[in-house]
Amino acid sequence: MADRAEPAVVRDHAVVAVPRVAGGSRPVPFRGGGFQPQPRRLVPVAVFVAVIGLWQLASSRGWLPALFMPSPWQIVGAFGDMIDNGTLDKHVGASLMRIGLGWLLGTIAGLAIGLAMGIFSVARAAGLPVVSALFPIPKIALLPLFILWFGIGEPSKVATIGFGVFFPTVIAAYTACDSVPRNLIRMGQSFGLPAIDIVWKILVPGAMPGILAGFRITASIALILVVAAEMIGAQYGIGAFILSAGNLMQTDQLLAGVTMLSLLGLTVSFVLGVVERAVLRWR
Amino acid sequence: MTLAPQGEEQFGPTKDAPLEWRAPSEDLVGPSAPSGHLPNFVGEGEHAKSRAMDLRLDGITHRYDGLPVLDGIDLLVRDGETVAIIGPSGCGKSTLLGIIGGLLKPTAGRVVTSGTPRADSLNPFTYIFQDFALLPWRTVAANVELALEHHPLPGSERRRRVRAALELTGLDDFAAALPRQLSGGMRQRVGIARALVVRPAVLLLDEPLSALDAQTRELLMEDLLAIWARERSTRLYVTHNLDEAARLADRVVVLSRRPGRVREIVSIDVPVGERGGSAALPVIAAVRDRLWALIRDEARVAEREVQHG
């Protein structure tokens, strides 16, 4: 019978008999789900292994000429040799020293100017045109000028990195100050906090997420600039090593140097992640 | 909605006399002493001996970029009173509170006080904010302590005050929690504790319950009344919620739409401590109706203004 009263469903806390309609009962189709990233722990590992495996396979079968594209295994071998004969220490040490010093100087100066621009209207009005004009210049273009000023040695490379780090840090710092809710500053004023307390207890901690996000950008800029600067004029350094390996057609060593850059970038990113977790525990 | 029947108890002038709507001009002369309104408000313990500090607004006028927001606000607020300020959107309620607390400079007019604040008041005019304004990187205790850190207090006294404020607001077990770990109601309790820790003479509450859900709002209203019964202060309470105004205030200042002028001041002659019970519902409802009648038409116009603006 078409109008048999079943099945029963609970609706509004009362059992309601649903009349059976012609065509039978159908479940309501599910339409939700998706559009929400889910952790898939095995996928990245599988992709990584597959790419390296295919690359190794292509090299072993001779599909990739070793002179232009050595196999992963050859690169690992070259890497091992560099560690054994101390080449890696020498080049990585030189690069790290330049990155560390240049990044530190650029960051200290950038934070000082950026925070000043975030706090004082006069500093912002004075600094913004200069920052806007100089920020777009690819800083490596200034290396020849710095070589003229400071000589071919370390200072010109450190200055290039420092200059490259300085401008993004300035911008990150003052925009981070802008992003601190004004109501927190009004709160500080309403309790009569001195201006210095408002800066150190409200503005600077509130700007830290933006400043640390800027560090990630400047760390990668420093890595790019150190390689570029070392390729232009350096005896030691990862950039110099890669350039020299390329000139000698030692592609396994060239790619070992590139792998080193990748590892360096990952290490910097990991360290910044640790710093962020420590400083921004409250988020 | 069912109102409680007109009971045997009398709540102010509800039966024998109609609610009295005092005109602003009369009000400037001053209402009856707040102690008469507030039997709960006894100023217990160490704060009982504070001297009266009245607050007077003289012709407060304010413009934002030439746009008139407030126009000639005159008001006298007696020591220990709770005055709610309501009005349509954009009428300048929060601006007025900003001016009273010294966070905004009025275009014209002035805010003057008479008498002296209590001796232990570290910040006579203290705000409680709608969005709580807590520092998310500080714990509950450290947020409360922020208000004391720039005062030359011994560490033990500072800690004692913080502990007392946390106890008073029911936050003793949450001293080490971060704001993000708390519900909205608990966060506002931190805002209240931070305000109380400086022993304010005048509490400036800027829509303090607006960001909370209805149940939390009810709970916090009860808590605020309990705290006010213990901690003596004068309170200016900006809200768009007519129930809050009718429940918490001794007088309600109704502002007109922009530019805000004092349209009427409604006195509620029922002690705030007695307004929570069902017997007081008719009075609260009558006040609420009266307030709504005063702002309804203007609220509608203001809503269209905001949309078109």
Please provide residue B6's backbone torsions phi and psi, each rounded to the nearest 5 degrees. Answer: -60, 110
Which residues of chain B does CATH 3.40.50.300 include? 20-32+53-117+203-309
Q: Are A102 and A225 in contact (CB under 8 A)?
A: yes
- Which residues fall within 8 angstroms of residue A64, CB to CB, at 6 or more apart? A55, A58, A71
Mutate: best of B104, B135, B187, partner A, most A CBs <10 A: B135
pLDDT > 90? residue B273:
no
User: Between A276 and B306, where is the model more confident?
Assistant: A276
Q: Do B136 and A183 touch (CB under 8 A)?
A: no
* B250-287 CB burial, b ≥16 within 10 A, e <16: bbbbbbbbbbbbbbbbbbbbbbbbebeeebbbbbbebb
Q: Does B152 touch chain A (CB under 8 A)?
A: no
Output the average pLDDT for chain A.
92
pLDDT > 60? residue B97:
yes
Q: Residue A107's domain is classified under what CATH number?
A: 1.10.3720.10
pLDDT in tens, B104-128: 999 999 999 887 777 788 999 999 9
User: Per-residue pLDDT averaged across A91-96, rounded?
Assistant: 96
Task: Let me know if residue A139 belongs to a domain.
Answer: yes
Task: Let me know if residue A38 belongs to a domain.
Answer: no
**From A205, which residue of chain B is nearest by alpha-carbon distance?**
B137
- In chain A, residues with a C-beta closer than 8 Å to the C-beta of B200 are none
**From A182, which residue of chain B is nearest by alpha-carbon distance?**
B133
Q: Are B265 and B28 in contact (CB under 8 A)?
A: no
Residue B109 corresponds to which tokens in the numbers above? Answer: 């007019």
pLDDT in tens, B36-75: 322 222 233 334 444 567 899 999 999 999 899 999 999 9
What pLDDT is stored for residue B269 in this prediction?
Answer: 85
pLDDT in tens, A166-220: 999 999 999 999 999 999 999 999 999 999 999 999 999 999 999 999 999 999 9
d(CA A154, CA A240): 13
What pLDDT is stored for residue B52 in this prediction?
Answer: 60
- In chain A, residues with a C-beta closer than 8 Å to the C-beta of B136 are 282-283
pLDDT in tens, B144-178: 999 999 999 999 999 999 999 999 999 999 999 99
d(CA B91, CA B174): 38
CB proximity under 8 Å: A 176-215 to B: 181, 183-184, 186-194, 197, 201-202, 205-206, 208
Q: How far is CA B114 from each of CA B42, B82, B212, rounded to the nearest angstrom? A: 21, 17, 35
- In chain A, residues with a C-beta closer than 8 Å to the C-beta of B138 are 282
Of A184, A280, A281, the CB nearest to B133: A184
Q: Are B208 and B221 in contact (CB under 8 A)?
A: no
Q: What is the DSSP string of B210-275?
A: TTS-HHHHHHHHHHHHHHHHHS--EEEEE-S-HHHHHHH-SEEEEEPSSSB-EEEEEE--S-GGGS
Amino acid at the residue B254 = V
What pLDDT is stored for residue A19 in this prediction?
Answer: 61
Task: Let me know if residue A22 belongs to a domain.
Answer: no
Q: Are B190 and B182 in contact (CB under 8 A)?
A: yes
Residue B127 to chain A, least CA–CA distance (Å): 7
Q: Are B237 and B206 in contact (CB under 8 A)?
A: no
Q: Do B125 and A197 touch (CB under 8 A)?
A: no
Of A190, A193, A208, the CB nearest to B126: A190
d(CA B267, CA B253): 9
Task: Compute how many other C-beta atoms are within 10 angstroms of the C-beta atom of residue B90.
Answer: 19
What pLDDT is stored for residue B22 in this prediction?
Answer: 37
Q: Are B133 and A188 in contact (CB under 8 A)?
A: no
Q: Are A226 and A95 in contact (CB under 8 A)?
A: yes
Task: Let me know if residue A175 belongs to a domain.
Answer: yes
pLDDT > 70? residue A8:
no
Residue B68 to chain A, least CA–CA distance (Å): 23
User: Between B246 and B280, where is the model more confident?
Assistant: B246
- In chain B, residues with a C-beta closer than 8 Å to the C-beta of A186 are 103, 133
Sheet strands side by side (includes B53-64): B67-77, B53-64, B108-115
Amino acid at the residue B69 = V
- In chain A, residues with a C-beta closer than 8 Å to the C-beta of B105 are none
DSSP B304: H
d(CA B18, CA B12): 9
pLDDT > 80? residue A23:
no
Strands B202-206, B234-238: parallel, antiparallel or unpaired by DSSP? parallel
Residue B147 corresponds to which tokens in the numbers above? Answer: 């208000």
Task: Compute how many other C-beta atoms are within 10 angstroms of the C-beta atom of residue B59.
Answer: 13
Residue B27 corresponds to which tokens in the numbers above? Answer: 């009000």
Q: Are A160 and A143 in contact (CB under 8 A)?
A: yes
Amino acid at the residue B20 = E
- Which residues fall within 8 angstroms of residue A77, CB to CB, at 6 or more apart? A252
Of A187, A188, A205, the CB nearest to B137: A205
User: Above pLDDT 70, what percent of chain B?
Assistant: 82
pLDDT in tens, A109-159: 999 999 999 999 999 999 999 999 999 999 999 999 999 999 989 999 999
pLDDT in tens, B190-231: 999 999 999 999 999 999 999 999 999 999 999 999 999 888
d(CA A279, CA A99): 23
Q: Does B125 touch chain A (CB under 8 A)?
A: yes
Q: Residue B188: which of B164, B205, B167, B202 has the closest Cα?
A: B205
Q: Are B179 and B187 in contact (CB under 8 A)?
A: yes
Q: Work out the angle at residue B46's Cα, subtended by the Cα atoms of residues B230 and B154, and round it to the nearest 5 degrees.
A: 110
Q: Do A193 and B146 touch (CB under 8 A)?
A: yes
Tokens 């008041």, located at residue: B121
Amino acid at the residue B157 = E
Q: What is the DSSP string of B123-176?
A: -SEEEE-TT----TTS-HHHHHHHTTTTS---HHHHHHHHHHHHHHTT-GGGTT
- What domain range includes position A123? 74-279
Mutate: best of B104, B132, B137, partner A, most A CBs <10 A: B137
Band of the pLDDT at A15, cuts 50, 70, 90?
low
- In chain A, residues with a C-beta closer than 8 Å to the C-beta of B103 are 186, 189-190
Residue A282 corresponds to which tokens in the numbers above? Answer: 């409250």
Instruction: With both helix axes pointing from N to C terminus, report the angle between A238-247 and A251-279 in degrees, rounded to the nearest 10.
Output: 160
Q: Does B198 touch chain A (CB under 8 A)?
A: yes
User: Above pLDDT 90, what percent of chain A?
Assistant: 86
- Which residues fall within 8 angstroms of residue B139, CB to CB, at 6 or more apart? B175, B176, B177, B178
Q: Do B125 and A190 touch (CB under 8 A)?
A: yes
Tokens 């975030």, located at residue: A118
Tokens 């962020």, located at residue: A276
Task: Let me know if residue A30 belongs to a domain.
Answer: no
Alpha-carbon dihedral B202, B207, B209, B211, rounded to 10 degrees: -140
Q: Do B103 and A191 touch (CB under 8 A)?
A: no
Q: Into how many domains does chain A fold?
A: 1
User: Per-residue pLDDT averaged across A95-100, rounded?
Assistant: 96
Q: Which CATH superfamily is domain B20-32+53-117+203-309 in?
A: P-loop containing nucleotide triphosphate hydrolases (3.40.50.300)
Task: Let me know if residue A226 belongs to a domain.
Answer: yes
H or E, element range at B77: strand B67-77
What pLDDT is stored for residue B281 in this prediction?
Answer: 87
Q: Do B103 and A189 touch (CB under 8 A)?
A: yes
**Residue A13, SS3 per DSSP:** coil
Direct distance between the N- and C-terminal alpha carbons of chain A, in angstroms, rounded to an integer: 62
**From B177, which residue of chain A is nearest by alpha-carbon distance?**
A282
Q: Does B129 touch chain A (CB under 8 A)?
A: yes
DSSP A180: S
pLDDT in tens, A60-71: 999 999 899 999
